[in-house]
Chains A and B, each alone.
Chain A
Amino acid sequence: MTGRIRVRRFGADSIALAATLTVLVGVTIGGFFLLDLKGLNLGQATAKMFHDLGIMFFSPGADHFTLPEMGWGLLFTLALGLLTTVIGAIPALVLGLLAARNLGPAWLSWLLRGFVAFVRAVPTVLWVLIFAVGAGLGSVAAVVGMTFHSFGYLLKAFSESFEELDEGTLEALKATGASWLSIVTQAVIPSSLAAITSWTFLRFEINFTTAVAMGAAAGAGGVGFDLFMASGFYFNLHEVGLLTWGILATAVMLEWGATRLRDTARVRS
């Protein structure tokens, strides 16, 4: 009897919510029993972790590189992030117009969205490694791979902002006999400029982080490679600490810029 009352009181939303949370928590608890620790002593390792963190954050230093070299590494990583963002944004802008449901044909929109959903589902590091076989390791593979993923991300973001354009404005412009190109350049782009800018900057923030990762995991150079050497090759905690501080400072600056841009975009629209 009580079962019946419960079903009436709780709708599909509560059931879905409860089921989701139960599965997630169940997997988490199960994970502790299922996963292999490979004989690791958790207590000792945790103590070592706190010891490591203390050295890193409170006594950073450099033995295998100079401060200007580290600055150059950060600049290299920033440049890699910027380059891939801009090169990815240009085709994303053009094709994003065609992929927007209110601007392009339905079949093309469906095709482009499906394609970029696939591009985005492959982690960036795999794209870089895959392109590295065809193009050789180094900056070319990193740039091409990261650009490809950024393109997928920005195309989705851009076309969704284009779709927010007021249907009435579009109808009115079409009624005046304006061509597709002038509708795009005079109405669509100007009214989504704020959204385009803030999405692009957000991607730049992500790409800086990705560029650090590509330096460490795909031999792309820059501060990520220094970090990989300090941790995986020299086991030098002081260096890991200094590099982490440098990356943190840069990332905080970028985040501050992205938040400022997002806020001005909100105020304008």
Chain B
Amino acid sequence: MTRRVEQVFRDRNLMLWGLLVTLAVVVWLSALITEFDFGDGLASFPRALGWLVANFVPNQRALNNLPSILNRLGETVVVSVMATVLAALLAFGLALLGSRTTRPHPLFTPVVRAIGSLGRNIPVVAWAMIFLLAFGQTFVTGLLALLLESVGFLTRSFLEITDETAAEPVEGLRATGAGWGTVVAQAVVPTLLPSLTSWMLFMLETNIRSATLVGLLTGTGIGFSFDLYYKSLNYPSAALVTICIVVVVLVLEALSNALRKVIL
């Protein structure tokens, strides 16, 4: 009996060490490939933080740019909301076509899943670089990039929710002889609306973070403001942009947490 227990512990330790050694080797290889020097990295971290505290602070002159920054930030927030809402509508349609409980034909499910996978597995940056060629430096480029990414994520989660929670009410209503439209409007939508909204809020948080990146690449919104000040070495203004983004993200996070508590 004792020997068995010892054996278990020895096996566990061996496995743990094996895992750690493999991990160390993979990390070492990754550092070789990316030409990253751990000493350099460790040394640069305090240096960069020191620089941050000393120079990356808004000053009086930066505050003059606040109206234009807030204007750009507003644009980014609006584009993120638009992408989220439009994506939610599309994803809901796709989920109805693909879910076990509501699909018109079983063949729709793999097609819907493939569309979702395509949307979310092509990074938002790649979508932005693709649409940049057709839509140029307008808000449409970012809107479409965020939209496709969101359709990908929301389709997957909406499908799962519809499969899991809509089955019973749908079956109940179908038994009364109700048609497809009635089933969707009276059973699916009311049952799912709270959790769909909660997912939308989550997606909105993600989109606001990604929108900065997309704006940086496509020359729109708050990303453009940051790029402008950063490249002209106007660090106090770039710092103000960063602070504005942080405030929006934190407020939105708090708001959607509070809403989620009430809704769900």
- In the bound complex, what is the Cα–Cα distance between A30 and B139 (angstroms)? 14
Contact A247 B123 (CB under 8 A): yes
Contact A36 B139 (CB under 8 A): yes
User: Count the B residues whose beta carbon is within 8 Å of the partner chain — how many?
Assistant: 77
Q: Does A235 contact B (CB under 8 A)?
A: yes
- In the bound complex, what is the Cα–Cα distance between A133 and B217 (angstroms)? 19
Stretch at the interface among B76-84, B91-99, B176-184: B76-84
Contact B44 A40 (CB under 8 A): no
Q: Does A97 contact B (CB under 8 A)?
A: no
Among A244-269, those with CB < 8 Å from B are: 244, 247-248, 251-252, 255
Contact partner, B82, options A31, A46, A79, A131, Cβ 8 Å: A31
Q: Does A144 contact B (CB under 8 A)?
A: yes
Contact A122 B242 (CB under 8 A): yes
Task: Give how many A-B residue pairs fall within 8 Å (CB-CB).
Answer: 212
Per-residue A-contact encoding for B1-43, CB less than 8 Å = 1, 0 else:
0000000000000000000000100110111011111001100
Which residues does chain A contribute within 8 Å of B212, judged by CB atoms?
A: 123, 125-126
* Residue from B36, B118, B209 having most chain A Cβ neighbours under 10 A: B36
- In the bound complex, what is the Cα–Cα distance between A248 and B131 (angstroms)? 17
SS of B interface (majority): helix
Contact partner, A126, options B29, B55, B242, Cβ 8 Å: B242
Contact partner, B134, options A12, A49, A143, Cβ 8 Å: A49
Contact B197 A17 (CB under 8 A): yes
Contact B125 A217 (CB under 8 A): yes
Q: Does A5 contact B (CB under 8 A)?
A: no
Q: Does A38 contact B (CB under 8 A)?
A: yes
Contact A213 B34 (CB under 8 A): no
Contact A52 B133 (CB under 8 A): yes
Among B100-138, those with CB < 8 Å from A are: 117-118, 120-126, 129-138
Contact A217 B213 (CB under 8 A): yes
Contact A82 B26 (CB under 8 A): yes
Q: Which residues of B contact A (CB under 8 A)?
A: 23, 26-27, 29-31, 33-37, 40-41, 44-45, 47-52, 55-56, 75, 78-79, 81-82, 84-86, 117-118, 120-126, 129-140, 144, 193-194, 197, 200-201, 204, 209-210, 212-213, 216-217, 226, 230, 235, 242, 245-246, 249-250, 253, 259, 262-263
What are 12 of the A-B contact pairs (CB < 8 Å)? A24-B81, A28-B82, A35-B75, A35-B79, A45-B134, A56-B130, A130-B56, A228-B217, A237-B133, A244-B130, A248-B122, A251-B122
